Structure 1
Amino acid sequence: MVQIGYTMLTEQAGPRELVEHVVAAERVGFDFSVTSDHYSPWLASQGHSPYAWSVLGAAAQATSRIPLMTYVTCPTFRYHPAVVAQKAATVQLLSEGRFRLGLGSGENLNEHIIGGGWPSADVRQEMFEEAVSIIRALFEGGYVNHHGPHYDVDSAKLWDLPDEPPPIGIAVSGEQSCEIAGRLADLVIATEPRPELVQSFERHGGAGKPRVGQVPVCYDPDRDAAVRRAHEQFRWFGGGWKVNAELPGPTSFAAATQFVRPEDVAEAIPCGDDVSRYVESVREFIKAGFTEVALVQIGGESQHAFLEWAGSTLLPALRELSPSDD
């Protein structure tokens, strides 16, 4: 049976609200949760971007069952990989083993703020691979010394290390990232239901490991209201990560999506309360080989209504899906 997750989207709600939302997600029966880790929202209309790691610490204490996960953290610019390892180990301890560390090579939107520029994709992937190796080494315990092309680590040691370090997930969008994930990841992460991503991950060493996808949705009993909200806050989604990784700020995302129409968004994102549309979107990920799918409900103030509907109506329908539906 596919696992259904809930997304704490930091771009659309404040920190206290995000914790309230994941508590409700646990109560209504979601199987796991993920959180974005951004410095800025994609669009100013989203209006938020609190520090994800503080939210995770609070969520670990406010919940007791639901797994937590970053979706995803970039360990190469804003955060040094040694610091990411310390944060992840701490959240794993606070959550008593419910945390998974999702990692990705980052977006200009969030990483340019430190003033280090935004290198080419090949350089970013090289930095990312080195960063993951450092995190892995620190999870093993003991002192780590590393002097590589991009990072230096001088006698670093995690003093509070869980018995079981967090599993590491790696976000993929093409062959190069799939090759890295196949070698270094415990699970793979993607935002598109493309079977070639799963196949490439498995070919490079990921066979049998979890595959986690993500689906944006916009529940509202009034479908027109849902379409308006999805267009206002999530029209950036259709650009794809090769474009989205390069844009430097909300103004750029607004300009890049100025000609996207509400009907374009409604075609790509389930809007309203037609359960069959939601089921079909999740089924696409199952057909592509994903074992877990996290839902992103668009609109911070709509979360509680969505969660109640999900618990009573959507989750039971999604529970009927299985890998045999492909």
Structure 2
Amino acid sequence: MVRIGYTMMTEQAGPLELVEHVVGAEQAGFDFSVTSDHYFPWLDEQGHAPYAWSVLGAAARATERIPLMTYVTCPTIRYHPAVVAQQAATLQLLSKGRFRLGLGAGENLNEHVVGAGWPAASVRHEMLEEAVEIIRALFAGGYVTHHGAHYDVEHAKLWDLPDEAPPIGVAASGPKSAALAGRSADLLIATDPDAAVVADFGRAGGAGKPVVGQVPVAFDRDRSAAIERAHEQFRWNVNPWPVNAELPTTKAFAGATSNVTPQDVAAAVPCGNDVGAFVDAVRPYVEAGFTEVALIQVGGDQQEPFLQWSREELLPALREL
């Protein structure tokens, strides 16, 4: 049975609200949660971007059962991998073993802020693989010194380590990144229901490991209101990933989506309160071999009605998949 998760979308709500939402998700019966880690929202209309690791620390103490996960942290430019290792080890302790570290090659939107430039995709993948190597070495305990192609670590050690290191997930969208994930990750993260990516991950060493996806949804009793909200805040999701990874600002995302219509978004994001449409949006992930799917309810101020509806109607239907 596929596990159904809840997304703390940091681009659309403030830190206090995000913690309240994940507490509600735990009470509603979601199987796990994931959290975006961004410096910017995708669009100005979303209006938020708190520091994800502070939110996660608060969530770890406010909840009791629900697993937590970054979806995803980029450990290459804005954060040094040695810092990410410390962040993740601390979260694993605060959550009493409920944390998974999701990693990815990042987006220009969030990494440009430190002024280090934005490398080509092939270089970003090299950086990600080296970063995972450093993080795993630090999780293993003891002092780590590393001088690689992209990073230097000098006599580093994590002084507060959990008994079990957080599992590491790596995001992939094609054969090269799927192979990277298969070599280096404990689980695969992907946003498209692409069976080929899952197969590539399995062939590279990921066979039998969890595969985690994510699906945006816009619940509302008024379908037209749901479509309007999804278009306002989530039209960027219609762009292919290679485009989204390169755009540097919210203004660039606004320009790149200026011709996206509400109908375009409604075709990609289930809107309204038809349970069947939401189940149909998740089904391709299950058929592609995903073991976990996290839902994003579009609209920071629309989480409570979504959580109530999920508990009463949506989650029971999704359990049938």
Note the C-alpha offset of 1:241.
1.2
Note the C-alpha offset of 1:250.
0.5
Note the C-alpha offset of 1:238.
1.1
List per-residue Cα deviations over 1:193-235 (Å, max 9, x = no partner): 0101100000111000000000000000000000000000000
Distance in structure 1 (CA, Å) of the matches to 2:311 and 2:187: 27
Distance in structure 2 (CA, Å) of the matches to 1:222 and 1:210: 36
One-letter amino acid of the structure 2 residue matched with residue 122 of structure 1: S
Does residue 245 of the first structure (1) align with residue 269 of the second (2)?
no
Distance in structure 1 (CA, Å) of the matches to 2:189 and 2:32: 14
Does residue 268 of the first structure (1) align with residue 268 of the second (2)?
yes
TM-score, normalising length from structure 1?
0.98
SS at match of 2:296: strand
List per-residue Cα deviations over 1:221-270 (Å, max 9, x = no partner): 00000000000000000112111000001000000000000001001100
Q: Hey, what does 1:308 align to over in structure 2?
A: 308
Q: Which runs of 5 or more structure 1 residues have no equivalent in the other structure?
A: 322-326
Q: Hey, what does 2:299 align to over in structure 1?
A: 299
Aligned length: 321
Note the C-alpha offset of 1:41.
0.3
Note the C-alpha offset of 1:149.
1.2
SS at match of 2:101: strand
Does residue 193 of the first structure (1) align with residue 193 of the second (2)?
yes
List per-residue Cα deviations over 1:152-176 (Å, max 9, x = no partner): 0001000000000000000001111
One-letter amino acid of the structure 1 residue matched with residue 307 of structure 2: L
Distance in structure 2 (CA, Å) of the matches to 1:174 and 1:133: 21
Q: Hey, what does 1:232 align to over in structure 2?
A: 232
Q: Hey, what does 2:34 align to over in structure 1?
A: 34
Q: Which runs of 5 or more structure 2 residues have no equivalent in the other structure?
A: none
Distance in structure 2 (CA, Å) of the matches to 1:173 and 1:135: 22
One-letter amino acid of the structure 1 residue matched with residue 232 of structure 2: E
Distance in structure 1 (CA, Å) of the matches to 2:177 and 2:158: 27
Q: Hey, what does 2:15 align to over in structure 1?
A: 15
One-letter amino acid of the structure 1 residue matched with residue 81 of structure 2: P
One-letter amino acid of the structure 2 residue matched with residue 19 of structure 1: V
Q: Hey, what does 1:324 align to over in structure 2?
A: none
Q: Hey, what does 2:50 align to over in structure 1?
A: 50
TM-score, normalising length from structure 2?
1.00
Percent sequence identity is 71
One-letter amino acid of the structure 2 residue matched with residue 292 of structure 1: E
SS at match of 2:43: coil
Distance in structure 1 (CA, Å) of the matches to 2:273 and 2:249: 32
Note the C-alpha offset of 1:56.
0.2
SS at match of 2:5: strand
Note the C-alpha offset of 1:78.
0.6
SS at match of 1:44: coil
Q: Hey, what does 2:126 align to over in structure 1?
A: 126
CA-based RMSD of the aligned residues comes to 0.4
Does residue 60 of the first structure (1) align with residue 60 of the second (2)?
yes
SS at match of 2:191: coil
One-letter amino acid of the structure 2 residue matched with residue 314 of structure 1: L
